[in-house]
Amino acid sequence: MARLVRTFVTPLILLSAFAGCGDRGPSMAERAAAAKAAQEAADAKAREESKAKLEAQRLAALWRYQDATVGGGAQKTAAIFATEDVDADGQGPRPVQLIFRDHAKWGRSGYLVLQAGDFACRPRCTVNVTIDDRPAQKLAAWRPDTDEAIALFVNDYKALWALAGEATRLRVEFPVKAGGARTASFEVASLDPSQMPGW
């Protein structure tokens, strides 16, 4: 009986030994390749994070926030220039600015400012506002009866503010005196609502 047991036990021991020899884990080359792949993945992730951080900083820098006393009252503004200049008068492209203003006396407003040319909007007109890939929205606008600044005010500044807060890119199509309409495009993704309390 003991001989029979030894006969069965010995092959089992040999099989276990062979199995152990065949399961030695990854080779040095495999471990090196895995380590290299892991390092490359970590480097790629770090590059993407750095790229995203730089892009966030770039977008945030497009907005300018100011506190000032203007016209005898405290004023806060959030302003951004269009990504590309616009030719509003046939004399060449010039900057267009979008401004949100909160003034102690004049109240709140959202408006465009041209450096050249003029809006065809006296006393009233309509602008088309588009954010990202959504359909355009028509918003009523008006131009002040003054030549001190070439500005076009959007009546529903709350709607304009809300659209700017939701969008990556906001486009405003407006009529000009030179004829037809022009479009100004703004990268608004990093608008900071905390800079304009209560909006």
Domain 64-195 is classified in which CATH homologous superfamily? Invasion associated locus B (IalB) protein (2.60.40.1880)
Output Rg (C-alpha) for the chain, integer angstroms: 33
Residue type, 68: A
pLDDT band at 35 (very low <50, low <70, confident <90, very high): confident
Closest by CA to 109, choosing from 69, 64, 148, 143, is 143
pLDDT recorded at residue 23: 59
pLDDT 10s digits, 114-172: 999 999 998 899 999 999 999 999 999 999 988 777 999 999 999 999 999 999 999 99
Across the chain, what does the average pLDDT equal? 87
pLDDT tops 50 at residue 48: yes
Identify the CA nearest to 168 among candidates 67, 83, 43: 83
The residues spanned by each domain of the chain are 2-59, 64-195
Q: What is the pLDDT at residue 11?
A: 43
**With 70 as the cut, is the pLDDT of residue 44 above it?**
yes
Structure tokens, 11: 């092959």
- Pick the closest to residue 139 from 147, 130, 129 (CA basis): 129
- Residue-wise pLDDT tens digits, 61-97: 999 999 999 989 999 999 999 999 999 999 999 999 9
